[in-house]
Structure 1
Amino acid sequence: MPSNAHDVAAAVLAHVGPVEAMRLQKLVYYSQAWHLALVDEPLFTDTIQAWRDGPVVVTLWDRHRGQRTVSSWPTGDPGRLSAAADKVVALVCQVYGGLSGDDLSELTHNELPWRVARQGVPDHQPSKAAIPAEEMKRFYRRRSLAGLSAADLVSGGLNGPGDLGIGSVERKQVLAAIRDDFRHPVTDAEPGFPEPVSSAFATDRGHRKPSRVEVRLHRERPQRGNTARRG
């Protein structure tokens, strides 16, 4: 049976433990986005909408509605994820898992998929517009993750920062780099990376360590609680 958004939510919680609902939603979104970029196919078919606080999987929202913190996901099974999907979710959790829900929301607001889906709707206004998978795939293929391009990650068998033994200090530097990177959105005029090849996940070829980041960690804003309003 193929995986669905519930399986991905359960897998995220298995990696990061109990999290606020907004943070869970964004980690599921980034798992979908990077899976599209690296494996060339979606993790799940559930629609992701461009809500006011960033991307939201509505089928998941209907399940955790009213909960500030989500600690388990009984309707999902991480075991249904393929080997490649499991690697993508693990990598996303390693890189983005230390960010708050507010931080992740801010990042998505600075990225093209969320903004393009809303088509000029002001940030403070609700929207139920779907974020197209092709827009996500195209955008994230041009980005880097923990200092590695999409092409580097695929050619290296999707080895992430956890595989490189990054300590707490460098982890903070990586998180600071993510914040800085996503404050500079990619435009359609910039060249993309080569198309990824799914079979590259089977081996560890040509993997290189990311360079150390010389960026100070930005102070995180206080976390917001989950609200019961949609959009």
Structure 2
Amino acid sequence: MNNLTNINQVAEWFINNCNDVTPKKLQKLLYYAYAWGLVFFNEDSNDLKAKLFDANFEAWVHGPVNRSIYAKYANYGYNEITNLEEKNDSITNEDVLDLLEQIKEVYGGFNGNELERLTHQEDPWRNARGDAKPLDSISVYLSDVDMFNYYGSKLKD
């Protein structure tokens, strides 16, 4: 597997480069970066080896969530994440930086609730939720293949 960076570096990049990043908004930005990374860094759904980072997203009630990032920033609640120990400029891969800038441009202006509503309309989260009721707590992972196929199809629209 070819991970281009790690989820903590990407999280710090979004916190340092986007406005009003709450834990919920951060989760959705990370999810979109990961999902679109599958599309841009791979040729087809049968060979999804190139990933932005090695992580899974679960189909939680409020949209896709990475459990380790949730635990790391949960103490911020609904508030903006501030006071990172240091500004991390460790992402140097130009393709990764280009992807992150595109995610910021497309999704960065939305708040966490708006991004949640967006993910709730999209197949990868809906497929992972399956027959779960709206408030059911489940820990099913969103499928990389579903993400690749769904967002890849958006390029053709």
TM-score by length of 2: 0.83
The answer to whether 1:57 aligns with 2:59 is no
Greater relative CO (CA pairs within 8 A, separation 6+): 2
The answer to whether 1:135 aligns with 2:149 is no
For residue 48 of structure 1, report the CA deviation from its aligned partner: 0.9
State the superposition RMSD in angstroms: 2.0
CA distance in 2, matches of 1:6, 1:75: 13
Residues 77 and 109 of structure 1: CA distance in aligned 2, closer, same or farther (over 3 Å): same
* Residue type of the alignment partner of 2:8: H
CA distance in 2, matches of 1:73, 1:4: 17
Q: Which has the higher helix share?
A: 2
CA distance in 2, matches of 1:36, 1:124: 29
* Residue type of the alignment partner of 1:57: N
The answer to whether 1:109 aligns with 2:120 is yes
Identity of aligned residues (%): 26
CA distance in 1, matches of 2:87, 2:6: 8
Q: Which is higher, the Rg of structure 1 or of structure 2?
A: 1
2:4–2:51 Cα contact (<8 Å) kept:
no
For residue 90 of structure 1, report the CA deviation from its aligned partner: 0.8
1:6–1:73 Cα contact (<8 Å) kept:
no
2:91–2:97 Cα contact (<8 Å) kept:
no
Q: Hey, which bits of structure 1, 4+ residues long, moved more than 3 A?
A: 72-78
| Gapped regions of structure 1 (runs ≥ 5) | 144-148, 150-192, 194-231
1:2–1:80 Cα contact (<8 Å) kept:
no
Residues 75 and 114 of structure 1: CA distance in aligned 2, closer, same or farther (over 3 Å): farther
CA distance in 1, matches of 2:38, 2:88: 20
Residues 120-148 of structure 1, C-alpha deviations (whole Å, 9 max, x = no match): 212221111111212111110011xxxxx
- How many aligned residue pairs are there? 145
Give matches, 1:179-194, under 5 Å.
Answer: 193=156
Aligned to 2:110: 99
* Residue type of the alignment partner of 2:56: T
The answer to whether 1:25 aligns with 2:27 is yes
| Gapped regions of structure 2 (runs ≥ 5) | 43-49
CA distance in 1, matches of 2:147, 2:83: 27
Helix, strand or coil at the partner of 2:51: coil
